[in-house]
């Protein structure tokens, strides 16, 4: 059992964090649209190919000036940061659950912020594209990606736009798990800064364009 003083301190910090995140949700909605951008991956495994979606979210937060604003929200088991984009607002999300359960965090955050599935962007690794290649897919099947499968199941929809970040496929099927859970090689790491910048550009351009269109979500 923790000492009473330590327990009171922990409870106070927990309440303060919960209150801060509650304010983020309960504050008046900005005049423009609101979008959720989720970087799929495995918490605690930064720098691995399977968590490249989280790396893109880190670059996106830096670009928007909110890299120091990440806050843990226990309600959705994720780190969240809010960022303005013109008249719109972006909710940046990095799940704290394992990849196969990322959808539970994404769906809960969408519920908290009153967003429908088509206002939720998923950023994730893509085996069938070489490193450096990007593609924005507008809904559809998960193509075997477990994190996307989880999101489709938990959101009960396949309408989410997905930014697919190529990580390349190994020569043999039995090497796939080690490949996706492995870290980028030194040669690959040299390509990452430009890749993350391009991924951020693609996301922001697409969201800006959609923000000029009809309202999305409630």
**pLDDT tens digits, one per residue of 63-102:** 999 999 999 999 999 999 999 999 999 999 999 999 999 9
Question: For residue range 133-178, what is the model confidence (pLDDT) as tens digits?
Answer: 999 999 999 988 999 999 999 999 999 999 999 999 998 999 999 9
What's the pLDDT at 156? 98
206 is catalytic: no
Residue with tokens 């190994």: 170
Integer Cα distance of 98 and 135 in angstroms = 24
Candidates 50, 124, 145, 179; catalytic one? 50
Region 41-48 average pLDDT: 92
Question: Which sequence spans correspond to the domains of the chain?
Answer: 30-212
Separation CA 216–CA 85 (nearest Å):
16
Torsion 54-59-62-64 (CA) sign:
negative
CA distance 85 to 77: 25
Rounded distance, CA 194 to CA 58, Å?
A: 14
- C-beta of residue 161 within 8 angstroms of C-beta of residue 206: yes
| 132, 52 contact by CB (below 8 A) | no
C-alpha neighbours within 13 Å on the C-beta side of residue 198: 14
**Of 190 and 9, which is predicted with more confidence?**
190
Instruction: Report the pLDDT value the prediction gives residue 214, as an integer from 0 to 100.
Output: 60
Percent of the chain with pLDDT over 90: 78
pTM of the full structure: 0.85
The architecture of the domain spanning 30-212 is 3-Layer(aba) Sandwich (3.40)
* Mean pLDDT of all residues belonging to the chain: 87
């Amino acid at each position: 059992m923790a000492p009473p003083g330590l327990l009171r301190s922990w409870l106070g910090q927990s309440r303060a964090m919960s209150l801060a995140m509650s304010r983020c949700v309960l504050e008046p909605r900005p005049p423009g649209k609101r979008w959720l951008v989720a970087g799929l991956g495995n918490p605690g495994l930064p720098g691995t190919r399977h968590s490249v979606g989280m790396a893109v979210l880190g670059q996106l937060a830096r670009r928007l000036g909110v890299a120091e604003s990440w806050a843990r929200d226990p309600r959705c088991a994720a780190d969240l940061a809010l960022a303005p984009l013109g008249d719109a607002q972006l909710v940046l999300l990095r799940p704290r659950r394992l990849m196969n359960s990322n959808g539970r965090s994404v769906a809960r955050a969408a519920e908290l912020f009153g967003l429908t599935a088509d206002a939720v962007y998923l950023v994730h690794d893509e085996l069938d594209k070489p490193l450096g290649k990007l593609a924005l897919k507008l809904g559809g099947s998960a193509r075997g990606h477990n994190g996307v499968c989880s999101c489709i199941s938990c959101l009960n929809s396949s309408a989410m736009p997905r930014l697919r970040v190529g990580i390349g496929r190994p020569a043999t099927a039995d090497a796939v798990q080690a490949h996706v859970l492995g870290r980028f090689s030194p040669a690959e790491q040299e390509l990452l800064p430009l890749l993350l910048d391009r991924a951020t550009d693609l996301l922001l351009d697409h969201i800006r364009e959609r923000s000029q269109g009809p309202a999305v979500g409630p």
